[in-house]
Structure 1
Amino acid sequence: MQATSRRRGGHSSLHSTTESQLIRARDYGYSHKRVESHDCPMSTCAAPAGSPCRTGKGKVAIQYHTARFRLVPQLAKALNVPTPAVRKPGSAWAELPRPRNAGAETVGHARLGYARASTARQSLDSQLDSLTEAGVTRIFS
C-alpha cells in the first residue's frame, strides 16, 4: 500500500492510495450492475449484458470500456470505472447469465436526431427514414 502525506490545517495526515480508491468505488455504489445492464458497444469486446468487458486476449478487463459505462447517465463524466474484484479481473473471460431487464429501453430517455440538407435541391427523406429506423422519436431539421 502506497501512502502519501498531506498537510491540513497545520496537521500532517497519512492518506493511502488504496483508501482513496475504495472511497471512489464506494461512491459508485453498484455501478458494475448498472454498466453490465448494457451490451458493450466496442466491436473488439462485444460483451453481452450481464457480463464484464473483456480484453483482446480473452481475459476479464480491469476496467469497463468507456463507451459502455458512458451509457449510464450517472457515470457519463467518470474517467474510468474499475471492474470489481467479484468479476475477477485478469482471469479468463466467460459469459455470465443476462439480467432479466437487459435490452429494455430506459424509462425517461428519448432518442433525438438531426437531419440537414446543404442545398435546396437535396432531400431529407433518406436521412429521415434512417433516423426513424434507428428508433429516433424526435427529429430536428
Structure 2
Amino acid sequence: MQATSDIDTDQAALAVERHDCPNCDAPAGSACRTRGGKTAAKYHTPRFVLVPALREELEIPVPADRHPGRAWKQGPALAVVPAPRTERPVRIGYAR
C-alpha cells in the first residue's frame, strides 16, 4: 500500500516513528502497541497526522519487519533525536 504518491510504506513508517505516540505512549523509534502490549498492525491516527505528508491518509500499516501481532519490544535508538514538539496534537473528529 502506498502511503502517498511520494512516500512508500517503509518511508512512511520511519517518518511516523520519529514521534512518540500520544495514544499508546510508544517512544520515538518504535511501532505503536495494542492495549495487550503487542505490536499494532497499524499506526495510531494521532501519531501519523504529526507528519505533514501523511495527514490526509486514513491508515498507515506497520511494516512486517516490526512484527505486528507479536509482543512489543523496544526498537533501535534513533540516529537523529527529534527536537521536542512545540505544536499541540490535532483532534481529527469525534465519534460516539
TM-score for both structures, normalised by structure 2:
0.77
Q: Which protein, 1 or 2, shows the higher relative CO under an 8 Å CA cutoff with sep ≥ 6?
A: 2
Runs of 5+ in structure 1 lacking a partner?
1-20, 113-141
Could you say which residue in structure 2 is the equivalent of 1:91? 70
Match of 1:34 among 7, 12, 15: 15
Count the aligned residue pairs: 85
Identity percentage of aligned residues? 46
Any idea what the Cα deviations from partners look like across 1:21-78, whole Å, max 9, x if unmatched?
3xx2584321110000111111xx1000000000000100000000000110000110
Indicate the structure with greater helix content.
1
Q: 1:49 to 1:111 in 2, by over 3 A?
A: closer
TM-score for both structures, normalised by structure 1:
0.54
Indicate the structure with greater strand content.
1
State the structure with more CA Rg.
1
RMSD (CA atoms)? 2.2
Runs of 5+ in structure 2 lacking a partner?
89-96
The 4+ residue runs of structure 1 with deviation greater than 4 A are none
